[in-house]
Structure 1
Amino acid sequence: MAVATPETTEPRVVLVTGGNRGIGKCIADSFRAQGDRVIITYRSGDAPEGVDAVQCDVSSTKSVEAAYKEIESTWGPVEILVANAGITKDTLLMRMSEDDFTSVLDTNLVGAFRVAKRATKGFLKLKRGRVIFISSVVGVTGAPGQANYAASKAGLTGMARAITRELGARNVTANVVAPGYITTDMTAELPEDVTANYMTSIPAARFGDPEEVANAVQWLASPGAGYVNGTVIRVDGGLGMGL
């Protein structure tokens, strides 16, 4: 029987795509707080101050390759990948252009594929690795005006499970965290009536905190979750239960 390689006690190299704001930033901060070497990606402009960051557009294979080479030469191979980068282009299906649909999939789903595929090179050399895809409850429940976004987030579950089948015996895990409605700058701008309407559908009767999403990610990245593979953890206050 195969024996898993023990987890290192040294600071781990963690890559969080889209880790410069919102949920991604909170996830990056949580790893940083426990002493890991955290690198975040940003798509354009200047790197955020005070953090290790590389420019990377996950919709470009060339950009992903360049980012990984920079990370590996500076900090070493990525041991934990949190694929969080994503975009939205919400509109009703009858008004949604093909570009609206494909561009969201290219960033949210194909972009996650690009960074996960590239990470496996380091994983196989290290004989360990963790992939954590940040999905959404919308990938299960659907939402009006989000056919593109829902499809991209639903696809992450299938991809995680395929990776599990391929690399589970190599001490690599691939799991999904699916947040529900989380308090961020974006949700803070919602009108009160819209917020109240969302609340009625959430059994917990509140929005979640980014820290609650980060806690789930932290657990999946921990030694205690080494036998958890191909699963989806919903951090949604019960919104998607039973689906």
Structure 2
Amino acid sequence: MAAHSSIAPLSVDLLVKVLKGTIFHPFAAAMILLCLLALAMLWSALLAFAWATFVSLLCVASAVNQRIAHGIPRQVNLDEEVIVITGGASGLGLLVAKIYGMRGVTVAVLDINDMQDPENYGVSFYKCDISDYEQVKAIARKIEEELGTPTVLINNAAIVVGKLLLDLSVDDIQRTISTNLLGPFYCLKAFLPAIIRSGSGTIMNISSVIGHLGAAHLSDYAAAKAGLSAMHRSVSAELRESHPEIKTVLITPGQLGTALFHGVQTPSNFVAPIVELPEVAMEVVDAIDRGNGAMMGMPLRRPGNADFHREKCHY
């Protein structure tokens, strides 16, 4: 994995963010129009007016599309939220748990691995193997008794074996599918009834772009993540009809800058850059805080073929 730098490398995501904050921002387009009018540059002002109108219509269309796809955002009161994060003892889950814990939000972290000093982050830790449905059900009851009714579930836990298909043992395949796909199913079965009872909530699934592209040495991981994305879409459709107050968020990041993807090389740092944890964590927190439903990919664009490959790597 490439060494981290304090300077963000040029990537398609960075380029799009700059454009959205400048010439594709309604305020910036309006300011350009006003400046041209002040300089009495009428023909240029007409072009600027057309551009400002186009950009404004794009923003309106985006807002309308968001409302049609995901409905009205739910009202979020962080003092009353109970957030459950699977795989929260390390990586992305730990960072999100820290953010909410430091903000005084009630957070329950589920992980098969021990969490170091959860009280320092203001969160509660529950040791749990999410591939075991009975454990998940028991922990769900315990969380509701000790912390209150869950309102947010973040299905984040995942494992990577990192072997060629022919080198995978049956146990390897079962562990990957059980953790990365069946685990989210079990957590939804265990926690969704309580979230529905709360009257409002958010279901978030952390999938992966590899579930769409596939990648060498990751056949089991890719299959599980593809299944998770498909499950998310189906559950979202069910909730839109029966419980529209429950918002669903699907995040499909590319290669994360974590130990989970140690040894994985991307085909291009421009179209498939390493996605840093703080960037993903900010999107996770923002989506929950706003009460929106969403389907987000990071990076914005993906390569047309699966050129990801793994160097020597052991898990």
Instruction: Give the TM-score band, short-chain normalised.
Output: 0.7 to 0.9
Q: Any idea what SS the aligned residue of 1:89 has?
A: coil
Q: Any idea what SS the aligned residue of 2:174 has?
A: helix
Show CA shifts across 1:179-230 (max 9, x none).
212222455x54xxx65xx2x52326742220111112112212351xx35x
Deviation at 1:39, TM superposition (A): 1.2
Output the amino acid matched with 2:88.
G
Match of 2:174 in 1: 102
Asked if 1:35 corresponds to 2:89, the answer is no
CA distance in 1: counterparts of 2:260 and 2:218, whole angstroms: 16
Q: Which runs of 5+ in 2 are unaligned?
A: 1-70, 307-315
CA distance in 1: counterparts of 2:248 and 2:291, whole angstroms: 15
The percentage of aligned residue pairs carrying the same residue is 28
Deviation at 1:47, TM superposition (A): 4.3
CA distance in 2: counterparts of 1:129 and 1:158, whole angstroms: 21
For the pair shown, the structure with the greater C-alpha radius of gyration is: 2
Change (3 A) 1:9 1:179: closer
**Aligned pair partner of 1:165 in 237, 247, 267:** 237
Deviation at 1:6, TM superposition (A): 3.7
Match of 2:289 in 1: 222
Answer whether contact 2:272 2:303 (CA < 8 A) is retained.
Answer: no
Asked if 1:21 corresponds to 2:90, the answer is yes
Deviation at 1:17, TM superposition (A): 0.5
Query: Size of the alignment, in residue pairs?
Result: 230
Deviation at 1:3, TM superposition (A): 8.1
Deviation at 1:57, TM superposition (A): 0.5
Q: Any idea what SS the aligned residue of 1:178 has?
A: strand
Asked if 1:179 corresponds to 2:246, the answer is no
CA distance in 2: counterparts of 1:98 and 1:205, whole angstroms: 31
CA distance in 1: counterparts of 2:191 and 2:205, whole angstroms: 13
Output the amino acid matched with 1:214.
A
Change (3 A) 1:210 1:9: closer
Structure 1 stretches of 4+ with a deviation exceeding 4 A read 2-5, 240-243
Deviates more, 1:204-213 or 1:165-174: 204-213
Show CA shifts across 1:17-75 (max 9, x none).
0101111111212222333211111214x443123111110010111011111111111
What is the aligned-residue RMSD (CA, Å)?
2.5
Output the amino acid matched with 1:121.
P
Change (3 A) 1:137 1:4: closer
Answer whether contact 2:202 2:291 (CA < 8 A) is retained.
Answer: no
Deviation at 1:143, TM superposition (A): 0.6
Output the amino acid matched with 2:135.
S
Q: Which runs of 5+ in 1 are unaligned?
A: none
Deviation at 1:241, TM superposition (A): 7.8
Answer whether contact 2:213 2:305 (CA < 8 A) is retained.
Answer: no
CA distance in 1: counterparts of 2:208 and 2:75, whole angstroms: 31
Q: Any idea what SS the aligned residue of 1:136 has?
A: coil
Alignment of 1:77-156 (within 5 A): 77-156=149-228
Deviation at 1:95, TM superposition (A): 2.4
Change (3 A) 1:211 1:175: same
Change (3 A) 1:96 1:6: same
Answer whether contact 2:150 2:195 (CA < 8 A) is retained.
Answer: yes
CA distance in 2: counterparts of 1:65 and 1:127, whole angstroms: 20
Answer whether contact 1:19 1:28 (CA < 8 A) is retained.
Answer: yes
CA distance in 2: counterparts of 1:172 and 1:164, whole angstroms: 9
